[in-house]
Structure 1
Amino acid sequence: MIIHVNATSGAHCGRSVAAIKWNNLAFRIPDFGIKRVAQGTSEGFAMLNRLDLLKIFAVAAAAPTFREAAARLGVSPQVVTRAVRELEEMLGETLFHRTTRSIRITAFGQSFARDAKAALSTVDGLFGPAAGQADEPAGIVRVTAPSGMGRRYVQPILIDLMQRYPDLVPDLRLSDAPSPVVDEQIDIGVRVGAIGDNRFVARMVGPLPMWVVGAPSLIMRMGEPKSRKELAAMPVTCLIDRANGRPWPWVFRGEQQFVPSSPAYLTDDTEVEIEAVCAGIGFGQCSEYLVRPHVQKGRLVRLLPSIEPEPWKLHVYRPRRGPMPRRIRVVYDELVAKLAHATSRA
């Protein structure tokens, strides 16, 4: 049996790697701290566990001398000698015939090398998916978004990603109330407004204007409002803040605002509010991205553009915790790119 070893200092899980071949079947041995804890002292060697011993043995089994094995591992020759001796004592068998000039693996050592190969390949497989940045993204990605934005934009983006990456599993949570992302273990959030929490990494992807709109039938019946004061005296809809149960104020340029005193229709769902506005129940102030299609089709009319408030800002964010797995990175980057395009309309 021929065992080939090629020791490299590449990055596998951020550690040095010994790439081993048994009968042309390759696998890698991550350095899980062998060089750091085994510096040739009895104290350092005592910290090595059985997996460390197997890694040292695997390299020693493929090297012409223990000194060469030590060089490939980046440790002292004494560490290799002690590791082999420790294994022999554990197993009650001789693994190498040793002379002052050479070492030769025993028949038992060859058999044990095959078993070690299987064990180390299993361990390497545990870390491969996490470190394999070239692999296709796979697994669950939990995303939260406002209901209207989620249905109209986020959902199509996720479906498109699933066509490209069949092993990706989106978990989309729609809510107009800010989600406790960390508590609910959400991976990515989409939010309208500021992200005032330093636990998150956020990207501002574009502006979201707010439009005052009304149905042509309502305008014919009530007339077109020419000012904020006239608008406040007409039938309007009201969106309820789910966080506190109170109405959201209507906001205008120059930080002017009003809360409808006698709304014609109340709801806590943005799309339900838009349906009521389209039905001519009242005027509404809604996100441009939700009402623009209705304006383009003539179902709604944009009103009072000169006093529209400064646009809100749309953010895509994620918790600031540890490294970002590839599956999350792919979804995060796609949402940033596609939502930025969606908000770049003239």
Structure 2
Amino acid sequence: MDQLSAMRAFVRVVQTGSFSATGREMNTSQTTISKKVAALEKKIGVKLLARSSRDHALTPAGAKYYQTCVDILGELDEAETEARSEVASPQGTVRISAPVAFGRILLAPIMAEFFQRYPDIKVDLRLSDRHTDLISDGIDVAIRARQLEDSTLVARHLFDNPMLVLAAPSYLDRNGTPKKPDDLTQHNCLIYSGMQEVNIWRFTKEDKEHSVAVSGNFQSDNGDVLLEVALTGMGIVILPIWMVESHIKAGRLKQIMSDYLGQNLPFNAVYLQSRYTPLKVRCLIDYLKDKLPST
């Protein structure tokens, strides 16, 4: 048995969640991948995957062995890269997960310069406002504006993410302008449904925290959609400054309650905790930290 090949197969089965997908990726059959994993289990004398007719999951021993395999294979890949050149040249595909608006507004414009700097790196960008699981989705780096929820992950701060309260001038002309958080209870608020506390908006003024339960006739789990609805004059919205700055300058949106600081959920680059972080991942995160806004 080629143990390294079996370890790579095992890691990709865990990351893709599928023997058949791993087989296609490695240009072989589902049966061959299954045999590799079975041979690996036999060699080390431990059951790595608990299989059923429809699914499989890591056993406790398999979870520990998976992380060990990731570390070992990563170090081998790094050693091979360094052996090819006196100066390691980052290469390979980096799989990134990011919110839709973040990818459109902030990532897309800086990709050309990234590829000029690192011509041997490829990027597979998956855009979704839903939470992604790095292992099961095979993600190298996830861009998230939330607190780190898993001790197996590492978060690298990219930039702060101040939220602004906004409305179209037409809405304010019809309904008046709220001055303080409690005034929002009398307004139609456009709600982002991707938060844990969907209807609670939080603010800070002079180090004092304020929270208010808001309501409205429209909610969405997509920030782009909320922005477009707000531009029609339908209600009040709370969005990050990088999404709305151009609309404020053009007069299409007006910031309100500017003396209250909206909740700040800094953007982080999140990746799996490991003794080894691939060079391609380190280069990408360093680049994002350098190029993204510092606000």
**TM-score, normalised by the number of residues in structure 1:** 0.57
Q: What is residue 178 of structure 1 aligned with on the other side? A: 131
3-state DSSP of counterpart to 1:208: coil
Q: Matches of 2:130 and 2:238 in 1, distance apart?
A: 18
Q: Matches of 1:178 and 1:336 in 2, distance apart?
A: 22
Which one of the candidate residues 119, 124, 129 is aligned to 2:81?
Answer: 129
Q: Matches of 1:148 and 1:302 in 2, distance apart?
A: 20
| Alignment of 1:205 onto 2:158 | yes
Q: Matches of 2:145 and 2:190 in 1, distance apart?
A: 20
3-state DSSP of counterpart to 2:188: coil
Q: What is residue 247 of structure 1 aligned with on the other side? A: 198
Query: Which structure has the higher relative contact order (CA within 8 Å, separation 6+)?
Result: 2
Q: Matches of 2:78 and 2:118 in 1, distance apart?
A: 21
| Alignment of 1:258 onto 2:258 | no
Q: What is residue 70 of structure 1 aligned with on the other side? A: none
Q: What is residue 39 of structure 1 aligned with on the other side? A: none
Which one of the candidate residues 265, 274, 295 is aligned to 1:321?
Answer: 274
Q: What is residue 294 of structure 2 aligned with on the other side? A: 343
1:287-298 → structure 2 map (5 Å cutoff)? 287-298=240-251
Q: What is residue 234 of structure 1 aligned with on the other side? A: 187
Q: In the TM superposition, what is the alpha-carbon distance from 1:322 to its structure 2 partner?
A: 3.8
3-state DSSP of counterpart to 2:159: strand
Q: Matches of 2:83 and 2:176 in 1, distance apart?
A: 64
Q: Matches of 1:131 and 1:221 in 2, distance apart?
A: 68
Amino acid corresponding to residue 252 of structure 1 in structure 2: F
Taking structure 1 as reference, are residues 229 and 282 closer, same or farther at Cα in structure 2, changes over 3 Å only? same
- Whether the 8 Å contact between 2:81 and 2:89 is mirrored in structure 1 is no
- Whether the 8 Å contact between 2:168 and 2:230 is mirrored in structure 1 is yes
3-state DSSP of counterpart to 2:262: coil
Q: Deviations over 1:180-201 (max 9, x none)?
A: 1122221112111221322122
Q: How many residues align?
A: 216
Amino acid corresponding to residue 201 of structure 2 in structure 1: W
Question: Rg bigger for which structure?
Answer: 1
Q: What is residue 18 of structure 1 aligned with on the other side? A: none
The ranges of structure 1 where at least 4 consecutive aligned residues each deviate by more than 6 angstroms after the TM superposition are: none
Q: Deviations over 1:208-260 (max 9, x none)?
A: 11110010111111111122222221122111128x7x735222224432333
Q: Matches of 2:83 and 2:104 in 1, distance apart?
A: 33
Amino acid corresponding to residue 247 of structure 1 in structure 2: V
Taking structure 1 as reference, are residues 270 and 200 closer, same or farther at Cα in structure 2, changes over 3 Å only? same
Which one of the candidate residues 221, 224, 239 is aligned to 2:174?
Answer: 221
Q: What is residue 257 of structure 2 aligned with on the other side? A: 304
Identity %: 28
3-state DSSP of counterpart to 1:251: strand
Q: Matches of 1:293 and 1:219 in 2, distance apart?
A: 19
Q: Matches of 2:209 and 2:137 in 1, distance apart?
A: 34
Taking structure 1 as reference, are residues 162 and 248 closer, same or farther at Cα in structure 2, changes over 3 Å only? farther
Which one of the candidate residues 98, 104, 108 is aligned to 1:155?
Answer: 108
3-state DSSP of counterpart to 1:258: strand
Taking structure 1 as reference, are residues 190 and 166 closer, same or farther at Cα in structure 2, changes over 3 Å only? same
Q: Matches of 1:219 and 1:306 in 2, distance apart?
A: 18
- Whether the 8 Å contact between 2:160 and 2:266 is mirrored in structure 1 is yes
Q: Which runs of 5+ in 1 are unaligned?
A: 1-124
Q: What is residue 45 of structure 1 aligned with on the other side? A: none
- Whether the 8 Å contact between 2:164 and 2:241 is mirrored in structure 1 is yes
Taking structure 1 as reference, are residues 248 and 145 closer, same or farther at Cα in structure 2, changes over 3 Å only? farther
Which one of the candidate residues 107, 119, 122 is aligned to 1:166?
Answer: 119
Moved more, 271-280 or 218-227: 218-227
Taking structure 1 as reference, are residues 167 and 216 closer, same or farther at Cα in structure 2, changes over 3 Å only? same
Q: Matches of 2:268 and 2:98 in 1, distance apart?
A: 10
